[in-house]
Chains A and B, each alone.
Chain A
Amino acid sequence: MSRCLWCNEEVMYTVSIKELVTFHCKNRPLCLGCSRQLKRLDSFTRCSGCSRISEREAHCQDCLAWRQRYPQLKLKHQAVYAYNGFAREMVKQFKFSGDCELAAAFSEEIKELTRCRRRSSLVIPIPISRSSIETRGFNQTELLLESARIEYQRVLENAFQREKQSKKTRFERLESPQPFIVRDRMEGEIKGKNLIIVDDIYTTGRTVYHAAQLLSQYNPASISSVSLFR
């Protein structure tokens, strides 16, 4: 019997028929009560540009603004869960308290996000700032990918010491200059590849658009972006 990674209660599930037939039992890192508190976005109508819960599937105001600014990018950002109160608590424990083991709670979701139907794909995690490295010691997105056993490349790095994103106002974030550069000898890797930019949370879209805009200059075949939460 395994224990829930979040609440430490025993994980009890009824086995599905499919699992009985295939003898392939899914590993369930969270108990039923906890996994119910995470709300899957695909059960809602969403903006097709950023996965935000919306009345219509048409692009939301923010996405329209991004499209105007970066007409060539046309990102269709995919995310699995709504960034609700429960998700916030989990992210707080994972990133800020530094409970790295929680990464294993989302292996299935990360696999689902990075499953690429096309060949020659390249998974690129968003890097974290030097100050985050100093206080946290790990890149949460890389940990998520590692625990899902997804191969990735450190293509991007931070161009300069940044202040923490979370302390900036929304306006400051939207106006911030390009924070990333492509690491030495990585330019060649990008050309002709189907890039998947991975971040843990999509908030304003600023981070992902910076990364996509920079990467688009190196002639990739395509760029898509995904995050666990939106």
Chain B
Amino acid sequence: MSKDYLLYGRDLIFREVHSAIQLTDRELTSVNQRPAISRINGRYRCERCGAAVRTKKPYPCICGGNCLYCSDCLILGKVRACDTLITLEEPNLFAPVHPASLRWIGCLSEEQRNASIEISRTIHANEERVVWAVTGAGKTEMLFEGVGKALDANKRVCIATPRVDVCLELAPRLRQAFPDTSLAVLYGSAEEKYTYTQLVIATTHQLLRFKEAFDVLIIDEIDAFPFYLNDMLYYAAAKAIKQQSSTIYLTATPDRLLKKRIKAKKIKASILPARYHGHPLPVPSLARLSSHASLKKIDSNCYQHMQELLNQKKRFLVFIPTIQLMEDVMKKLVILFSQFSFDSVHSKDSQRKEKVSKMRLGQYDFLVTTTILERGVTLSGIDVIVLMAEHRVYTEAALVQIAGRAGRSKEYPNGEVTFYCTNLTRGIKGAVREIKEMNRLASRKGLLK
């Protein structure tokens, strides 16, 4: 493969590319180069991630001088003031797939089918759309038709999501649906994995390495992005798409701003209030604890609750706000439930993937987790317990997502969700209201069994 393929639609640090694949002078004249850190009105901005440069002063640099650097996108390799970014225009050089890219044969519910048609049309018309679908609505299947048509029209398509877990869950399903289409899954910082493909599944961070590459960009779980990084996400998305292109936002829990835009019809939206299996979303029950947040108080109520679930052979997830608290609670659980099989998992856990798959295979009776399992991960037949639901990590969106882990499968559609809290926060109230609202909407539309 010629070196050009590695640069089509990419936005890479010249120094990094050059040390990996030496570019000849002739090749260098054909690529587009621009400074990686620009200066506009006396302010420095990183051109790769769009952030204002926060470094307070220049530091000794590999160029021999002193340079500012961008601390916001360090995870993708350091961008220094002396760096340039290089790109080659995206030419869409893909081998056509006959007779059609999409090989998925499956059934969509009527609601899913309607959304699927709307998505297809939006992609065809190079427009924007929000798909607001409750957890368990079956979003991925609704994308297939639109993506298939785009691929057949020789368009380059990217599905991006803030979470690595979601990427890893999406990849096999798309590979199965589009078996003859070239597909790359990009996450983490390893650049060597990159190959030029028509279909790209990537973390939103990886989008920063693209420039005007995609005809279709689908952003899944758009609300999962930490709030303070939102600007970066929008910058990344805007940079990665071509001028003529379509963007689809998927979410189960749009933030207030997005809801406002939907209500004001500033952006087209498909709203799916019901799950594919037609059962309502489990409404969380609130177990209020009178005293000030203390784990001792949770003891009596919650541990009893867990014991009951275990007696009934029901499997469940226990959400705990911080790693520190999780460690404290685990010490107790190990003593209380020594005869059961369980474990804990958090964002920095190296065995995270193994533990989740063990839970999925039924090798654990329950799993204790921080918010990392709040979304993307689908486990069937589980109940959900949230400890200290008043904690500030539990935003409305996070709680809706967490509650959405329960009752996912057709076989066990009525999972139970319990929030243990000492006081009712906006997040808790909002989450319960939102879930009830979606159930009402679904029932009014006649979508519930």
Q: Which A residues are within 8 Å of any B CB, using their own CB?
A: 8, 33, 93, 97-101, 133-139, 142-143
Is A135 touching B74 in the complex (CB atoms < 8 A)? no
Is A99 touching B62 in the complex (CB atoms < 8 A)? no
Is A139 touching B60 in the complex (CB atoms < 8 A)? yes
Across chains A and B, the number of contacting residue pairs, with CB separation under 8 Å, is: 36
Chain B, 37-85, CB within 8 A of any chain A CB: 54-56, 59-63, 69, 71, 74-75, 78, 80
Is B62 touching A101 in the complex (CB atoms < 8 A)? no
Is B59 touching A138 in the complex (CB atoms < 8 A)? yes
Is B62 touching A137 in the complex (CB atoms < 8 A)? yes
Is A100 touching B55 in the complex (CB atoms < 8 A)? yes
Q: Is B29's beta carbon under 8 Å from chain A?
A: no
A100 to B68: give the CA distance in the assembly, Å.
10
A8 to B69: give the CA distance in the assembly, Å.
17
Given contacts A8-B228, A97-B74, contact A138 B56 (CB under 8 A): no
Residues of B within 8 A of A100 (CB): 55, 59-60, 69
Is B61 touching A137 in the complex (CB atoms < 8 A)? yes
Chain A: CB-nearest residue to B62: A137
A133 to B61: give the CA distance in the assembly, Å.
8
Contact of A99 among B56, B60, B61, B71 (CB under 8 A): B71
Given contacts A33-B324, A100-B55, A100-B69, contact A138 B74 (CB under 8 A): no
Q: What are 19 A-to-B residue pairs whose CB atoms are below 8 Å? A: A8-B228, A33-B324, A97-B74, A98-B74, A98-B78, A99-B74, A100-B55, A100-B59, A100-B60, A100-B69, A134-B62, A135-B62, A137-B61, A137-B63, A137-B80, A139-B60, A142-B60, A143-B59, A143-B60
Interface string of B306-344 (1 = CB under 8 A from A): 000000000000000000100000000000000000000
Chain B: CB-nearest residue to A138: B60
Is B59 touching A136 in the complex (CB atoms < 8 A)? no
A97 to B77: give the CA distance in the assembly, Å.
7
List 9 additional A-B contacts (Cβ < 8 Å) besides A98-B69, A134-B62, A136-B62: A97-B75, A99-B71, A100-B55, A100-B59, A100-B69, A101-B54, A137-B60, A137-B61, A139-B60
Residues of B within 8 A of A139 (CB): 60
Is B71 touching A101 in the complex (CB atoms < 8 A)? yes
Q: Which of B56, B59, B63 has the most CB of A within 10 A?
A: B59
Is the contact region of chain A dominated by helix, strand, or loop, or is it mixed?
helix
Query: Separation in Å of the B428 CB from the closest CB of chain A?
Result: 22
A139 to B62: give the CA distance in the assembly, Å.
11
Residues of B within 8 A of A136 (CB): 62
Q: Which B residues are within 8 Å of any A CB, using their own CB?
A: 54-56, 59-63, 69, 71, 74-75, 78, 80, 228, 324
Residues of A within 8 A of B62 (CB): 133-137
Query: Separation in Å of the B347 CB from the closest CB of chain A?
Result: 12
A151 to B324: give the CA distance in the assembly, Å.
39
A33 to B80: give the CA distance in the assembly, Å.
30
A138 to B59: give the CA distance in the assembly, Å.
8
Query: Separation in Å of the B70 CB from the closest CB of chain A?
Result: 10
Residues of A within 8 A of B54 (CB): 101
Is B60 touching A93 in the complex (CB atoms < 8 A)? no
Chain A: CB-nearest residue to B322: A33
Query: Separation in Å of the A64 CB from the closest CB of chain B?
Result: 36
A143 to B54: give the CA distance in the assembly, Å.
18
Chain A: CB-nearest residue to B75: A97
Is A101 touching B55 in the complex (CB atoms < 8 A)? yes
Query: Separation in Å of the A38 CB from the closest CB of chain B?
Result: 14
Chain B: CB-nearest residue to A85: B348
Query: Separation in Å of the A212 CB from the closest CB of chain B?
Result: 26
Residues of B within 8 A of A142 (CB): 60
Residues of B within 8 A of A133 (CB): 62
Q: Which of A101, A133, A139 has the most CB of B within 10 A?
A: A101
A134 to B19: give the CA distance in the assembly, Å.
12
Residues of A within 8 A of B75 (CB): 97
Residues of A within 8 A of B61 (CB): 137-138
Query: Separation in Å of the B328 CB from the closest CB of chain A?
Result: 14
A135 to B78: give the CA distance in the assembly, Å.
11
A195 to B390: give the CA distance in the assembly, Å.
54
Residues of A within 8 A of B78 (CB): 97-98
A12 to B68: give the CA distance in the assembly, Å.
28
Is B59 touching A93 in the complex (CB atoms < 8 A)? no
Query: Separation in Å of the B77 CB from the closest CB of chain A?
Result: 8
Query: Separation in Å of the B210 CB from the closest CB of chain A?
Result: 21
Query: Separation in Å of the A132 CB from the closest CB of chain B?
Result: 10
Chain B: CB-nearest residue to A89: B348
A98 to B324: give the CA distance in the assembly, Å.
28
A8 to B62: give the CA distance in the assembly, Å.
27
Query: Separation in Å of the A89 CB from the closest CB of chain B?
Result: 8
Query: Separation in Å of the B372 CB from the closest CB of chain A?
Result: 16
Chain A: CB-nearest residue to B80: A137
Residues of B within 8 A of A137 (CB): 59-63, 80
Chain A: CB-nearest residue to B226: A8
Query: Separation in Å of the B181 CB from the closest CB of chain A?
Result: 34
Chain A: CB-nearest residue to B59: A100
A180 to B63: give the CA distance in the assembly, Å.
24
Query: Separation in Å of the A148 CB from the closest CB of chain B?
Result: 15
Chain B: CB-nearest residue to A142: B60
Is B74 touching A93 in the complex (CB atoms < 8 A)? yes
A137 to B54: give the CA distance in the assembly, Å.
19
Residues of A within 8 A of B74 (CB): 93, 97-99
Residues of A within 8 A of B59 (CB): 100, 137-138, 143
A142 to B59: give the CA distance in the assembly, Å.
11
Residues of B within 8 A of A134 (CB): 62
